[in-house]
Amino acid sequence: QVQLVESGGGLVQSGGSLRLSCAASGSTLNRYAVGWFRQSPGKEREGVSCISGLDRSTYYADSVKGRFTISRDNAKNTVYLQMDSLKPEDTAIYYCAARAGIPTIVPADFDSWGQGTQVTVSS
C-alpha cells in the first residue's frame, strides 16, 4: 500500500505558475502509474494528467495540454505537476493518485489517493 501527500498549492493570479508535488511513502513509487486530478465544489472529479511507472509515458486532458507538465523523480519518490499559464477555471482541489496498472486519467481506475491541495487562480 502506498500513501500519498500533495503539496505546493496556493493562490496565484491568472497567467501565473505553480508546481505541485506528490510525495509517496509505504512503497517505491516507480512501481506505479501516478495521476493528477482536480475537483471543484459541485463538480465531478476530473482527470488532469498521468505518468507511467515503466517508461514515463505522459497523458494530458485537452483542457491543460500545452500548459501543464507532469514529471517524476523516482530517487525522491515524488511526482510533480508544473502548471503554467494558469486560468481561473483551473481553480480546484488537486489530488494525486496511484495505481499498479497502465496509466489513465479515469478516477475510478485509481485506488490510492492523497488528501488534496488547494489551487486558487484569481482573475
The pLDDT, as a whole number, for residue 7 is 98
What CA–CA distance (Å, rounded) separates 84 from 62? 15
Angle of CA points 55, 58, 64, to nearest 5° = 170
Burial of 89 (0-12, 13-18, 19+ CB in 10 A): exposed
Q: Where are the alpha helices (DSSP H) in the chain?
A: none
Low-confidence ranges of the chain (pLDDT < 50): none
Element (H, E) at 43: none
The pLDDT, as a whole number, for residue 53 is 86
The answer for residues whose C-beta is within 8 angstroms of residue 24's C-beta and 6 or more apart is 2, 3, 4, 32, 77, 78, 79, 98
What CA–CA distance (Å, rounded) separates 62 from 70? 14
Fill in the DSSP letter of residue 48: E
Note the Cα 31 to chain centre separation in Å: 17
The pLDDT, as a whole number, for residue 74 is 86
Contact 88, 122 (CB under 8 A): yes
Sheet holding 18-25, edge to edge: 3-7, 18-25, 78-83, 68-73
